């Protein structure tokens, strides 16, 4: 009867291994990696998984074996009277120490590449990311490459980056702690009020999509909804002409709106026109939400400027 | 040296007999008692009560993760009637904060140090009581203000603390940052301070008692590993707690007295300027101080569990502990290294990454003594004559699950991997494998094992085995898949993770975990039922029902006031001489004097 407990312990070990083997097929595994450094993290994970997996199998096997083998004996029977085996103690202590030292050693470089300031890319800061309850305020320096000038472009919860270029971001917080977590870029860094922390990464060639920004540090009741997006733009413009036309048309309509509004002092009519234009601006809003990933980053920046002008016009 | 100390103690023992004023009133005997056994039992029942409260809180968390924004049955209408039975994000943050705070500060720490520490230490070293019985009584009664603070915080404006059990400022220290950062947070800080005072009183008592009150013949290396681990834990606590207490006082001052230890200059939170700005504080300072205590606290919660586990395993494997001295050195090693690894909680915090590398290396090496302990437990079982009592099953389960908790720690210690898994469910999986899979299984083992000594009756064995089977099964089913959530990047502490496309597909797995967690919670009712009915209906237990060697089994069950009758026991050997060829039986109590037996026969 006692031996049956061995089955329970064996089942637990088998379940652990089986669900790890099954998980990737269900997507219970690493999200897609689109950064150039992410493979270093993933590789290290697999190395540790191999080493710990081996230790796991070995220790659980011994555990199940002893439970099977040494239970259910007769009551009077005695156990082995042994206190220790010195060489064995030394052996497992030193082997474990050596393995741990090796694991410690192999990861130093990956960490340095991702976090040591001395290894940051030698580029201008791409954007300031200011975290706050419960949004990401993102500022680009605009075409002059300088922050705090008139052509700065500001956006909410949207980080636009060009593919393949090293991106350097200055991370700040204006209230409590937040954490800038990009699961697909293998980036996580707390944002701390009173500190400016540089974060850098590069997107793999051929990436052209949007990815989520997650707040990973508890920042209040709205922590769960502090979501942002990273938009990866291609290097080359694909269809700039069509977009220019669309923006020009929009701008024309907006000019028309301004003229309309000025001409009609009648309150009722004015409201009517406003409603019509809100519809138009709603279209513009959607446009901003899905900001044409086919554009290069520079073209996106131009468009953002124009949109900003348009919104200013509305006011 | 040890001999002369021992004989001095023998003489002392005859002088300090306290037979008079034996008859105490009910209040002095069971409520304001100075008897270490009663205090231990008081700690036991109090912590078991909070174990249920902490468990209820997590049901809300699990419900929300499985069926977000839907009405919670039974508790929903009862607790969140105003929201139509739906859990609000404010309550969600409060629930996981208080779940962890209660489980750590009101359950695991006080049950190990308070309940087991008090009950076991004097019995295992052959003392009549603690060195300072009144201080001991106060250590229990200082838990009450803490409990009152925690319970009351649910009813103040804004509700209980909701900044996580780590209480990171500025979220925790600025009133305008969150509803829970009001009075609830102040009560949390005050409550934890009281727990600290209680623990410190206990620690000083344990250290003094173990150093000065061991019975004749009880050298340090003849102490059972439970006492050893409680001894080292007490030292650990005595050194780590002052730092936590200082940090708690500093945060209380930031909140109430306008200081700015943890608040950066000119901070505006939620459109309100934080008080204490302009003094140039640093939020990360709190994290250093907090983890300087709270990393060792992890060992405060696991070392006694390891000790208990060793005693139970040797007893039911009918074998000496394999590598007794390496076990003691491993405990000391863990405690020593435990003071220089705290930064591994802060790799992504903005702390200098060079420091991260240093903490990574120290953390890697703290895995070594833990591994040595696992190997020695396996060595203990090897070649034994294992008896699977409910206590032993829980002890073996401890080894099985602690292996998982120990190994998953290596992933988090690896700084680059930690970038991805930090603040995800990988961490939640790890802590539950260590604290539930580890500490709680050992606590169960300890309760099944020492219950006869506490109450003179056995717990019901078939019920105990059923409870074990269900607990082990559901704990693994609930906690293991959390590793996979973590690998997928699933963050902890989100009231609704599924509006991220990245995590949408993890809903099904979370529902599975929730169902298992609910079953795990219900299973604990069997345990509570068993504890209560066995008090009156349990099979009567003799002095030494498990044929154990250590000293506590030479006292009556339950042990009387003063433990040992007219004269103290005398110890002749270590506590693990099971299956010794010197005697016919497979146990050889520490007190049995083989030389005297030979001489007389
Ligand atoms: Cu946030
Ligand atoms: Cu957050
Ligand atoms: Cu730690």
B181-218 residue pLDDT tens: 899 999 999 999 999 999 999 999 999 999 999 999 99
Enumerate the β-bridge partners of residue A214. Answer: A181, A227
A258 in a structural domain: yes
In this prediction, residue A295 has a pLDDT band, given cuts at 50, 70 and 90, of confident
Torsion, Cα B255 B257 B263 B264, to 10 degrees, reads: 150
The CATH number of whichever domain residue A49 belongs to comes to: 1.10.287
B279 in a structural domain: no
Please report the pLDDT score of residue B1 as a whole number: 37
Q: In this structure, are A187 and A224 located in the same domain?
A: yes
Nearest CA to B448 out of B537, B333, B531 is that of B531
Print the domain residue range for B356: 302-539
Please report the pLDDT score of residue A57 as a whole number: 97
**Rounded distance from Cα A126 to ligand 2 centre (Å):** 23
Please report the pLDDT score of residue B459 as a whole number: 97
B349 in a structural domain: yes
Q: In this structure, are B155 and B255 located in the same domain?
A: yes
d(CA B539, CA B534): 8
Please report the pLDDT score of residue B204 as a whole number: 95
Is any Cβ of chain A less than 8 angstroms from the Cβ of B490?
no
CB contact under 8 A, B360 and A219: no
CB contact under 8 A, B319 and A88: no
Q: In this structure, are A229 and A246 located in the same domain?
A: no
B189 in a structural domain: yes
How large a percentage of chain A has pLDDT more than 90?
57
Q: In this structure, are A74 and A101 located in the same domain?
A: yes
**Rounded distance from Cα B159 to ligand 2 centre (Å):** 19
The distance of A257 to chain B (nearest Cα, Å) reads 35
Q: In this structure, are A95 and A156 located in the same domain?
A: no
Q: In this structure, are B306 and B446 located in the same domain?
A: yes
d(CA B569, CA B125): 9
d(CA B153, CA B95): 12
Cβ atoms < 10 Å from Cβ of B470: 17
Q: In this structure, are A246 and A229 located in the same domain?
A: no
* Greater pLDDT, A315 or B251: B251
Domain stops at, among A67, A86, A114: A114
**Rounded distance from Cα B89 to ligand 2 centre (Å):** 12
**Rounded distance from Cα B224 to ligand 3 centre (Å):** 27
Please report the pLDDT score of residue A77 as a whole number: 79
Is any Cβ of chain A less than 8 angstroms from the Cβ of B382?
yes
Is any Cβ of chain A less than 8 angstroms from the Cβ of B264?
yes
A54 in a structural domain: yes
Interface test with B, best of A51, A55, A81, A157 (most B CBs within 10 A): A81
d(CA B326, CA A87): 12
Closest chain B CA to residue A133: B270
Interface test with A, best of B416, B487, B579, B583 (most A CBs within 10 A): B416
Residue B18 clears pLDDT 80, i.e. is over it: no
CB contact under 8 A, B371 and A28: no
Q: In this structure, are B45 and B117 located in the same domain?
A: yes
Residues of chain B with C-beta less than 8 angstroms from the C-beta of A216: 422-424, 491
**Rounded distance from Cα B308 to ligand 3 centre (Å):** 22
Residues of chain B with C-beta less than 8 angstroms from the C-beta of A27: 488, 505
Interface test with B, best of A170, A221, A225 (most B CBs within 10 A): A221
**Rounded distance from Cα A90 to ligand 2 centre (Å):** 47
Q: In this structure, are B446 and B328 located in the same domain?
A: yes
Residue B5 clears pLDDT 50, i.e. is over it: no
Residue A287 clears pLDDT 80, i.e. is over it: no
- The H or E element containing residue B150 is helix B143-153
**Rounded distance from Cα A115 to ligand 1 centre (Å):** 21
Is any Cβ of chain B less than 8 angstroms from the Cβ of A184?
yes
The CATH number of whichever domain residue A210 belongs to comes to: 2.60.40.420
Please report the pLDDT score of residue A261 as a whole number: 58
Please report the pLDDT score of residue B4 as a whole number: 42
| Each residue's pLDDT tens digit, B380-403 | 999 999 999 999 999 999 999 999
Q: Which of B323, B367, B417 sits opposite A84 (nearest CB)?
A: B323
In this prediction, residue B297 has a pLDDT band, given cuts at 50, 70 and 90, of very high
Closest chain B CA to residue A222: B89
A312 in a structural domain: no
**Rounded distance from Cα B499 to ligand 2 centre (Å):** 14
Q: In this structure, are B248 and B319 located in the same domain?
A: no
Is any Cβ of chain B less than 8 angstroms from the Cβ of A276?
no
Residues A111/B356, Cβ–Cβ less than 8 Å = yes
Q: What is the mean predicted confidence (pLDDT) over A239-247? A: 58
In this prediction, residue A272 has a pLDDT band, given cuts at 50, 70 and 90, of low
Q: Which range among A11-20, A249-258, B4-13, B364-373 shows the weakest confidence by mean pLDDT?
A: B4-13
Is any Cβ of chain B less than 8 angstroms from the Cβ of A29?
yes
Residue A97 backbone phi and psi in degrees, to 5: -60, -40
pTM of this structure: 0.90
**Rounded distance from Cα A104 to ligand 2 centre (Å):** 31
B269 in a structural domain: no
CB contact under 8 A, A70 and B383: yes
Residues of chain A with C-beta less than 8 angstroms from the C-beta of B374: 59
CB contact under 8 A, A221 and B178: yes
Q: Which of B170, B349, B499 sits opposite A193 (nearest CB)?
A: B170
Q: In this structure, are A258 and A228 located in the same domain?
A: no
B61 in a structural domain: yes
DSSP string over A227-250: EEEEEEEPSS-SSHHHHHHHHHHH
B19 in a structural domain: no
Closest chain A CA to residue B399: A63
A307 in a structural domain: no
CB contact under 8 A, B93 and A218: yes
- Give, in order, the Cα–Cα distances in Å from B210 to each of A204, B338, B563: 62, 22, 16
Is any Cβ of chain A less than 8 angstroms from the Cβ of B580?
yes
Nearest CA to A254 out of A283, A218, A226 is that of A283
Please report the pLDDT score of residue B14 as a whole number: 43
**Rounded distance from Cα A219 to ligand 2 centre (Å):** 4
The distance of A244 to chain B (nearest Cα, Å) reads 31
- Computed over every residue of chain B, the mean pLDDT equals 91
In this prediction, residue A286 has a pLDDT band, given cuts at 50, 70 and 90, of very low
Q: In this structure, are A164 and A245 located in the same domain?
A: no
B512 in a structural domain: yes
Please report the pLDDT score of residue A283 as a whole number: 39
Number of domains chain B is built from: 2
Domain stops at, among B262, B292, B320: B262
The distance of A181 to chain B (nearest Cα, Å) reads 8
Print the domain residue range for A228: 123-233
**Rounded distance from Cα B489 to ligand 1 centre (Å):** 16
Q: Which of B163, B419, B502 sits opposite A114 (nearest CB)?
A: B419
Domain stops at, among A55, A82, A114: A114
DSSP string over B174-242: -GGG-GGGTHHHHHHHHHHHHHHHHHHHHHHHHHHHHHH-PPTT--GGGS-HHHHHHHHHHHHHHHHHH
Q: What is the mean predicted confidence (pLDDT) over B298-323? A: 95
Q: Which range among A59-63, A247-251, B534-538, B565-569 shows the weakest confidence by mean pLDDT?
A: A247-251
Residues B547/B580, Cβ–Cβ less than 8 Å = no
Q: In this structure, are A18 and A49 located in the same domain?
A: yes
Q: In this structure, are B205 and B308 located in the same domain?
A: no
Q: In this structure, are A140 and A224 located in the same domain?
A: yes
Residue B10 clears pLDDT 50, i.e. is over it: no
Please report the pLDDT score of residue A238 as a whole number: 47
Q: In this structure, are B67 and B144 located in the same domain?
A: yes
In this prediction, residue A148 has a pLDDT band, given cuts at 50, 70 and 90, of confident
d(CA B62, CA B210): 43
Closest chain A CA to residue B317: A79
A190 in a structural domain: yes
DSSP secondary-structure letter at A180? E
A306 in a structural domain: no
Domain stops at, among B509, B539, B569: B539
Q: In this structure, are B229 and B308 located in the same domain?
A: no
Residues of chain B with C-beta less than 8 angstroms from the C-beta of A16: 404, 476, 480
Is any Cβ of chain B less than 8 angstroms from the Cβ of A288?
no
How large a percentage of chain A has pLDDT more than 70?
77
In this prediction, residue A313 has a pLDDT band, given cuts at 50, 70 and 90, of low
Closest chain A CA to residue B385: A79
Q: In this structure, are A110 and A9 located in the same domain?
A: yes
Q: What is the mean predicted confidence (pLDDT) over B273-286? A: 80
The CATH number of whichever domain residue B189 belongs to comes to: 1.20.210.10
Is any Cβ of chain A less than 8 angstroms from the Cβ of B549?
no
The SS3 call for residue B163 is: coil
Domain stops at, among B539, B572, B595: B539
How large a percentage of chain B has pLDDT more than 90?
82
Q: Which of A27, A71, A227 sits opposite B505 (nearest CB)?
A: A27
d(CA B365, CA B283): 29
Please report the pLDDT score of residue A237 as a whole number: 54
Is any Cβ of chain B less than 8 angstroms from the Cβ of A83?
yes
Residue A266 clears pLDDT 70, i.e. is over it: no
CB contact under 8 A, B417 and A193: no
A265 in a structural domain: yes
Residue A123 clears pLDDT 70, i.e. is over it: yes
Residues of chain B with C-beta less than 8 angstroms from the C-beta of A81: 319-320, 578-581
| Each residue's pLDDT tens digit, B90-149 | 999 999 999 999 999 999 999 999 999 999 999 999 999 999 999 999 999 999 999 999
A78 in a structural domain: yes
* ipTM of the modeled complex: 0.92
| Each residue's pLDDT tens digit, A20-57 | 999 999 999 999 999 999 999 999 999 999 999 999 99
Please report the pLDDT score of residue A151 as a whole number: 72
Q: In this structure, are B505 and B395 located in the same domain?
A: yes
Q: In this structure, are B367 and B228 located in the same domain?
A: no
How large a percentage of chain B has pLDDT more than 70?
94
The distance of A168 to chain B (nearest Cα, Å) reads 16
CB contact under 8 A, B269 and A15: no
Q: In this structure, are A161 and A108 located in the same domain?
A: no
Residue A124 clears pLDDT 70, i.e. is over it: yes
Residue B266 backbone phi and psi in degrees, to 5: 55, 40
Q: Which of B350, B417, B424 sits opposite A48 (nearest CB)?
A: B417
Q: In this structure, are B218 and B134 located in the same domain?
A: yes
Is any Cβ of chain A less than 8 angstroms from the Cβ of B79?
no
Please report the pLDDT score of residue A249 as a whole number: 66
Residue A208 clears pLDDT 90, i.e. is over it: no
Q: In this structure, are A137 and A205 located in the same domain?
A: yes
Please report the pLDDT score of residue A207 as a whole number: 87
Q: In this structure, are B530 and B385 located in the same domain?
A: yes
Number of domains chain A is built from: 3
Give the E-state strand segments of chain A in sequence order.
127-132, 135-140, 153-156, 158-162, 166-173, 178-182, 187-191, 197-202, 210-215, 227-233
């Amino acid at each position: 009867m006692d031996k049956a407990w061995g089955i329970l312990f064996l089942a637990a070990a088998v379940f652990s291994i089986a669900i790890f083997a099954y998980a990737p097929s269900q997507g219970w595994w690493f999200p897609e990696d689109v950064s150039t450094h992410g493979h270093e993290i993933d590789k290290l994970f697999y190395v540790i998984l191999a080493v710990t997996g081996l230790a796991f199998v070995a220790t659980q096997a011994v555990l199940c074996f002893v439970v099977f083998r040494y239970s259910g004996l007769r009551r009077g029977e005695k156990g082995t009277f042994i206190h220790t085996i010195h060489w064995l103690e030394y052996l497992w202590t030193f082997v474990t120490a050596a393995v741990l030292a090796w694991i410690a050693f192999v990861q130093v470089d990956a960490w340095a590449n991702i976090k040591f300031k001395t290894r940051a890319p030698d580029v201008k800061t791409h954007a300031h990311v200011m975290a706050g309850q419960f949004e990401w305020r993102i500022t680009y320096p605009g075409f002059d490459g300088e922050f705090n000038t008139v052509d700065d472009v500001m956006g909410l919860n949207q980080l636009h980056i060009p593919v393949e270029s090293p991106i350097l971001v200055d991370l700040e917080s204006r209230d409590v702690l937040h954490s800038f977590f990009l699961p697909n870029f293998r980036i996580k860094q707390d944002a701390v009020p009173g500190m400016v922390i540089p974060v850098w990464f590069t997107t793999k060639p051929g990436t052209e999509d949007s990815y989520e920004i997650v707040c990973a540090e508890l920042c209040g009741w709205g922590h769960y909804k502090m979501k942002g997006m990273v938009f990866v733009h291609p290097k080359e413009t694909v269809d700039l002409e069509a977009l220019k036309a669309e923006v020009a048309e929009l701008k024309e309509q907006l000019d028309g709106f301004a003229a309309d509004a000025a001409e009609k002092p009648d309150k009722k009519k004015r409201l009517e026109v406003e409603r019509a234009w809100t519809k138009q601006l709603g279209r513009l809003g959607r446009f901003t939400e899905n900001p044409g990933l086919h554009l290069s980053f520079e073209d996106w920046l131009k468009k953002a400027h124009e949109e900003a002008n348009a919104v200013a016009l509305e006011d | 040296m040890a001999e002369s100390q021992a004989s001095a103690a023998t003489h002392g023992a005859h002088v300090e007999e306290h037979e008079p004023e034996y008859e105490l009133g009910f209040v002095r005997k069971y409520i304001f008692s100075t008897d270490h056994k009663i205090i231990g039992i008081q700690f036991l029942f109090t912590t078991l009560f909070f174990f249920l409260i902490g468990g209820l809180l997590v049901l809300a968390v699990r419900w929300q993760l499985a069926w977000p924004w839907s009405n919670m049955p039974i508790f929903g209408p009862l607790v969140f009637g105003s929201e139509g039975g739906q859990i609000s994000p404010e309550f969600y943050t409060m629930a996981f904060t208080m779940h962890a705070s209660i489980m750590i500060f009101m359950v695991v720490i006080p049950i190990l140090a308070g309940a087991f520490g008090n009950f076991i230490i004097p019995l295992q070293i052959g003392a009549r009581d603690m060195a300072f019985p009144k201080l001991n009584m106060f250590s229990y009664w200082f838990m009450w203000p803490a409990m009152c603070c925690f319970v009351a915080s649910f009813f103040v404006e804004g509700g209980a603390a909701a900044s996580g059990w780590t209480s990171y400022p500025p979220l925790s220290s600025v009133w305008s940052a969150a509803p829970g950062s009001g009075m609830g947070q102040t009560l949390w800080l005050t409550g934890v301070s009281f727990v600290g005072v209680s623990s410190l009183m206990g620690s000083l008592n344990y250290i003094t008692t173990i150093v000065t009150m061991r019975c004749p013949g009880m050298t340090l290396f003849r102490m059972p590993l439970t006492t050893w681990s409680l001894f080292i834990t007490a030292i650990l606590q005595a050194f780590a707690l002052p730092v936590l207490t200082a940090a708690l006082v500093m945060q209380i001052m930031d909140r109430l007295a306008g200081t700015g230890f943890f608040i950066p200059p000119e901070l505006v939170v939620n459109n309100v300027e934080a008080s204490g700005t302009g003094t140039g504080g640093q939020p990360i300072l709190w994290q250093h101080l907090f983890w300087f205590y709270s990393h060792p606290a992890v060992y405060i919660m696991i070392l006694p569990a390891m000790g208990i586990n060793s005693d139970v395993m040797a007893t039911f494997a009918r074998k000496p502990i394999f590598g007794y001295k390496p076990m003691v050195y491993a405990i000391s090693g863990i405690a020593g290294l435990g003071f220089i690894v705290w930064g591994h909680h802060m790799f992504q915090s903005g702390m200098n990454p060079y420091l991260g590398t240093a903490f990574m290396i120290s953390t890697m090496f703290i895995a070594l003594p833990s591994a040595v302990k696992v190997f020695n437990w396996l060595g203990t079982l090897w070649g034994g004559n294992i008896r699977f009592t409910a206590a032993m099953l829980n002890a073996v389960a401890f080894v099985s699950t602690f292996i998982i908790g120990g190994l998953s720690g290596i992933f988090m210690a690896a700084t680059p991997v930690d970038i991805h898994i930090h603040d995800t469910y990988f961490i939640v999986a790890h802590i539950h494998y260590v604290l539930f899979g580890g500490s709680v299984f050992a606590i169960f083992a300890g309760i099944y094992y020492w219950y006869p000594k506490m109450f003179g009756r056995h717990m019901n064995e078939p019920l105990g085995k059923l409870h074990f089977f269900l607990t082990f099964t559901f704990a693994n089913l609930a906690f293991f898949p959390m590793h996979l959530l973590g690998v997928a990047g699933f963050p902890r502490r989100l009231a609704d993770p599924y509006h991220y496309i990245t995590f949408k597909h993890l809903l099904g797995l979370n529902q599975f975990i929730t169902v298992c967690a609910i079953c795990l919670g219900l299973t604990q009712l069997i345990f509570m039922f068993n504890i209560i009915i066995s008090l009156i209906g349990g099979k009567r237990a003799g002095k030494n029902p498990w044929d154990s060697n250590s000293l506590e089994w030479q006292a009556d069950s339950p042990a009387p006031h003063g433990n040992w009758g007219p004269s103290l026991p005398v110890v002749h050997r270590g506590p693990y001489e099971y299956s010794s060829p010197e005697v016919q039986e497979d146990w050889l109590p520490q007190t049995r004097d083989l030389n005297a037996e030979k001489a007389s026969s």
